[in-house]
């Protein structure tokens, strides 16, 4: 018998004013997404699924995330880095 356990978390980080979507399979993070703002209904409607680019970016940064006790803070920090990278790319090419 094969048993796959999937867990979805919705976390609101008030300091960053963002909802974070976290999908886990067992203890491993398999998907991430986020939405700026506190409109939970909009989050559920449009952002309640993995963002492949953000998830892959997370895994390039995860050497920091798993060593700290607060994984949610680490994910939020990595999202800020991701957002900044996109902004810099759009601004400077």
pTM, two decimals, is 0.86
Count of structural domains, the chain: 1
Q: How far apart are the first and last CA of the chain?
A: 51
Which range, of 20-24, 36-40, 52-56, 63-67, averages the lowest pLDDT?
63-67
Q: How far apart are CA 68 and CA 12, in angstroms?
A: 19
Query: Does the residue 72 lie in any domain?
Result: yes
**Domain limits for position 63:** 6-92
* Predicted confidence (pLDDT) at residue 63 exceeds the cutoff of 80: no
Q: State yes or no: pLDDT of 61 exceeds 60.
A: yes
Q: Give domain status of residue 1, yes or no.
A: no
HSE-CB for 11 with a 13 A CA cutoff: 19
């Amino acid at each position: 018998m094969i048993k796959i356990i999937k867990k979805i978390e919705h976390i609101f980080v008030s300091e960053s004013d963002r909802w974070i979507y976290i999908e886990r399979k067992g203890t491993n993070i398999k998907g991430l997404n986020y939405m700026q703002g506190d409109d939970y209904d909009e989050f559920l409607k449009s952002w309640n699924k993995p963002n492949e680019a953000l998830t892959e970016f997370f895994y390039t940064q995860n050497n920091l995330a798993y060593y700290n006790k607060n994984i949610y803070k680490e994910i939020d920090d990595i999202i800020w880095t991701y957002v900044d990278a996109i902004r810099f790319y759009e601004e400077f090419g």
